[in-house]
Structures are given as structure tokens and as C-alpha cells.
Amino acid sequence: MKKPIAAIISAVLFGGIAAAPCNVLSVPAASAQEKAAKPNYQNRAQIPEKDKWNLHDLYKSKAAWEADVKKAEELSAEITAKYQGKLDQSVDQIVGALQDYSTLSELSSKAYGYANLSFDVNQSNPKKQALLNRAEKMAAKIAADTSWLNPEIVSIKTGTMKKILRDKKLAPYKYVLQDMLRTKSHTLTKQEEEVLARLSPLSDTGTNVYGMLAKDVKFPKIKDSKGKEIQLTRSNYISYVESGDRLVRKGAYEAYYRTLGKFQDSFAQALTAQVKSHTIHAGLRNYKSALEAAVVPNDVPAKVYDQLISSVNKGLPLLHRYMELKKKLLGVDELHMYDMYTPIVEADRAYIPYEDAKKMVMDGLKPMGDDYLSIMNEAFKKRWIDVYSTEDKATGAYQWGSYGNHPFVLLNYQGTKGDVATIAHELGHAAHNYMSGKKQNYLNAHYAIFTAEVASTLNEALLWNSEYKKAGTKKEKLYLLNQRLENFRTTLFRQTQFAEFEKKIHELDQKGEALTAETYNKVYGEINQKYYGKVMAADKEIPLEWARIPHFYNYNFYVYQYATSFAASTALSKQIADEGAPAVKRIKDNLLSAGGSSDPISILKNAGVDMSSSEPVDQAMKVFEETLNEMEKLVNES
């Protein structure tokens, strides 16, 4: 059985908007009264309770958690004893098995989520590590105990199953069953499924090694714009390569990648373990490739992935043109990758207090209606969100769904405009999860990752529209236009670049070629140069970027969906602007409340965008070109 997705996670998109050096257009700075000091919490105890998520909403005590872990393990054994070998006897048996499996999945997901969330805000705590290890053992046991369920259902004769599907009792599970039958040719025997389930912890080796390696790697000190030595970390790296001082961002960039370079063989081993796991899994399940094995189970045709890369490659001349504009406005003789994080339009760099960020997000999402805003308000007021970073907190940002409860959102808020967009992004996931949970049963509530990023990037698009409407001067409009171009670069182009890299290294593995740090550097360096064009200097550090992208290690062909979803949300945000309430209702009813009740292509088509064609990506490219044209026009007028 396809495992319900307990967590929809997204990392902060690299390349935020910050200040730039001279030779750029500037936006008026905030007044002294508007500026606020950036908090600097040394440990979790210093963070106010209101800015930490409340895990007591899941469990009041560890004892209560342990009781659920034990209950889940017992229930998984009971399901096997009660239903195994009996599913073809009656519709009631199938309905009962699915109901009990749903109860088990909901219970185990809640317990696993609590352990994972506890660990991610205190990763150096041995007790939290032990908690997560216990949860992982529970998950492995349940997977092994119930591994017979999918094979047994799909082994039911086709004619018998067609009759079964017509029974009204199975209506709540119809798509779940149809989805299982769709991948029948990739389902193994009961014994084989059990073996794979027992071996499943080994498939996470690359992920686990990367996680510990990334945590343990220590970076050197660098100098800030005032010449003061500061400690470079994973968390503050982006803020320093966003610096308006070119020497600061160059120093941070080189220090970061040269440090990664010392460990590149270890990172390569972790990535290779992940790639080989995907390739082996694909072969065992009779897929043609690791790519097909990753996307087909989510009911997405593999051609969508290839189509994305092809369409974006056709649009690369537009990205090259944007790079030329960036070089011109930065006033540099040579454009380097460390210049990518610096905007070509300067804005006020004052720290944005979290309370102000919340208001900006709420204002931006007003077109979604009062009911949607009430969900956002509840998230802010009832401690769904863990806001600030500490040394041993997981980096990036994500949303973790909890069926029957509310979602949880992890942030590492630094007070930048990019961080404000991240809040909107993750709350898009949270609203999607929350609304689907209210409308769908457990097995239908967990949407495919293909649709997950549409809700989040739609929120970002609405936030941008709100800020652009408020822009009162040409300079403010220039800033926002540049921000939009950067969103396209970091999402549609950059995530497709990542997707192309993933596809290439998996193809090399399938051909039996050696995967080493040297291989990864060569492949990544060539793809990066293709995307950014001749205007971009071939920095020796950039081929190592693969070593810092967590999605390569943690997920399986995930990042392409950031790009496809961005294209979809671009179209949907335009529909909201053009149609208003009818478009909002269509999106809420057919996307945000749909969960995984149908295939993702149909869900998005019903919401208003057809991802089975190249049209959404082509339309996004047109929007990028129009934005670039407007930017160039305003620059020439300045």
C-alpha cells in the first residue's frame, strides 16, 4: 500500500532578496522608529513560549506518547491476524481492513511526528535522538507487519475487484483501491514485500549520514562589512552571501564551499548510497528507471518531468538575458555565483520583526477570503509555528501535517523579506493540509507531493501581488519586479536545474558508471554553466553545490515539483486576479480540500490548470519575459 505522506516538507528557496552595493537603484530606508533589533537567542530556553510550537497539542507527556507507540505496534499485529488471507472473502473484510489500517496509520503518524518534531528543535539532545530512534523502529515494524496488505488486495482477480469497487461501502476508499491496482505490476509478492519492508531502514543510510555530516561540519570564521570576525554557520550563510559588501559575500561563499570541499568524498558516499537505493528499488519493482519509480506511484506520468526540463531549457536565453541585466546593474566586470544572492535593486535592510511579517502575510492572503485568513490567524495565535533558530535546530523550513490535529510549521526566522515569503509558503502547506483533513478521510487526505507545492507557491504569488499593489514609487516597483524575477530564477529555473542533475546522476548509475565526488562536480558544473550562460564566471567552488542541497539526500526526485507547482500557481494567481471569488472557490474546493482523493493531474485540472501539457510552463516563461521587459523598461527610464 502506498504510504500516506505524514509530512510535506519544503526547504527555504535559496537566493533571497536583500541589499546590494553601489551602482544599484535604491528604495527609501525605514525610519529609525521603524527599525527593530534582531533577537539573538543562544538556546531554546531563551525563546518566548509564544514563538515555539506547542507539542503538547499532540501529547501531554512522554508516557502518553509511549502508550500510543505500543498501541500502534499491537494494532499492526492485530490487523495481520484478523485480515491476512481473508480479503477476497467479502467486501466487509476489505472495508474493515482499510478502516483499521487507516486508524493504525493515523496513530503511528501522530507518534512519529511527535518524535521527529521534538528532535528537530533539539538535535544534539540524546533523549530526543533516542525518541526518534524508537519511532523509526515502530515505523519499520508496522511496515513489515502490514506489507502483505497491498499484494493481497492487488492479487484479487480483476473481475472480482470490479464488482467490489461498485459496492457503496467502498466509496470512501475507491481511489485508494484504484491507485493500488494502477501499480499492480510493480507490487511484489507478500514475501518479497515483507523483505523489502524489513530492509527499508537501510535505504535511509544516505539520508542519515548526510544529516549527521551536515550537522557536524564546522565552518570557519569570516569578516563582516565592519571587519569584525563572525562565525559562519549553516543557518547564517545565506544572510552573508546576501551582503551588499561584495568582499563579505565572496568570503562567505569561498569559506563555505572550501569547507564542503574537504568533506566532498564523504558527501559523495552519502549521495551515492541514496542514488543506488533508488536504482535498486526501481529494478526490484519492475520500473524502467529510478525516475519512473519515483513519479509513477504518485500518479504523475514520467513525461511531465522530461517535459519540464525541455520547456525550461528552451527558456534559458531569457535567464541569460536576466543575468546580463544583473551584471549591468551590479556594475561588476565579471559576474560570479556569489553575486546571485544580492538583488540588483537595493531596499531597506532593516530587520523585519516577526509581528510585522505576520501582518504582511495576512494582508497578502486577503483575496483567499475570511475563512482562509482564520486558519492563518489560528496558526499564529495557537502556536502552530516554531519561529527562531538555535544552534542545534534543523535548518530550513517545513510543514508537518497531523491528521485530526493542526499542522506544525518549522521556521528559522531571520527577519528578511525572503523569510516573510517563507512564512506564506509554509502556511500554504498548512492550510492545504488542514482543509484536506477537514474534508477527506485519512487515506484520502494525504495529497501527492505534486500538488503540495502549488498551495505554498500560490501564497507566495499572492503576497507578491499585495506588495506590488502597495508600491508607491518607481523604485519600489523596480525592487518588487526584481524580486519576482528572482522567484522565477530560484524556483522555475533553479529547481529544474536540480531536477536535471538528479536525472543525470541516476542515469549514470543505471548505466553502471562510478559515482564519485569528481563525477558529481563535473555533472553539476556543466549543468550550472548551461543554465547561467557565458556571462557567468566559472567559479571553481560552484560544482560543489550538490553537497549542500538537502533534497538530493532526503527525497527522491522531489524538487521538480517546485518548478511545476510554481508554473501552476502562477496561472492560478492570475485567475484569482482576473476572476476573484469564483476562482478562489474553485481552488479551495478542488485543490485545497481535495487532498489525494483523485490523481494530482485531475485535481489541478479541476482547480483550473492543466499540467498534462507544456502550457503552464510556457505561460510562466511568458510572465517571466513580461516581467523582465518591464524591469528593463523602468531601468532605462531611470
Instruction: Give me the mean pLDDT over the 509-528 stretch.
Output: 97
Q: How far apart are CA 580 and CA 574, in angstroms?
A: 10
**What are the boundaries of each domain within the chain?**
54-202
Instruction: Give the other-Cβ count within 10 Å of 46's Cβ.
Output: 11
pLDDT recorded at residue 157: 85
| Angle between helix 417-439 and helix 370-381 axes, rounded to 10 deg | 110
Q: Mean pLDDT over all residues of the chain?
A: 89
Q: What is the pLDDT of residue 35?
A: 52
- Hey, how many other C-beta atoms are within 10 angstroms of the C-beta on 371? 10
What spatial distance separates the first Cα and last Cα of the chain, rounded to whole Å?
Answer: 60
- What is the per-residue pLDDT across 310-334, written as a single tens digit (0 to 9) for each? 999 999 999 999 999 999 999 999 9
pLDDT at 464 over 60: yes
pLDDT category of residue 632 using cuts at 50, 70 and 90: very high
CA atoms of 353 and 87, how far apart (whole Å):
57
**Band (347; pLDDT cuts 50, 70, 90):** low
Segment 60-68 mean pLDDT: 96
pLDDT at 9 over 80: no
Rounded Cα–Cα distance for residues 388 and 500 (Å) = 33
Least confident of 164-168, 200-204, 385-389, 397-401: 200-204
Residue 15 and residue 341 in contact, taking contact as beta carbons nearer than 8 Å? yes
- pLDDT tens for each residue of 568-578: 999 899 899 99
Angle subtended at Cα 562 by Cα 559 and Cα 594, rounded to the nearest 5 degrees? 115
Side chain identity, residue 253: Y
Q: State the Cα–Cα distance between residues 597 and 440, nearest whole angstrom.
A: 8
Quick one: 54-202 is in which CATH superfamily? Oligopeptidase f, N-terminal domain (1.20.140.70)
Q: Which of 420, 573, 578, 560 is nearest to 500 (CA)?
A: 560
Highest averaged pLDDT of the listed ranges 180-194, 535-549, 607-621: 535-549
Q: Is 193 a catalytic residue?
A: no
Looking at per-residue pLDDT, the higher value among 90 and 502 belongs to 502
pLDDT-based confidence at 206, cuts 50/70/90? confident
Q: What kind and span of H or E run contains 26? A: strand 25-26
- Going by C-alpha positions, the residue among 334, 312, 338 that lies closest to residue 248 is 338
pLDDT digits over 216-266, tens only? 899 999 999 899 999 999 889 988 998 889 999 999 999 999 999 999 999
The pLDDT tens digits of the residues spanning 262-271 come to: 999 999 999 9
Active-site residue, from 106, 194, 426, 545: 426
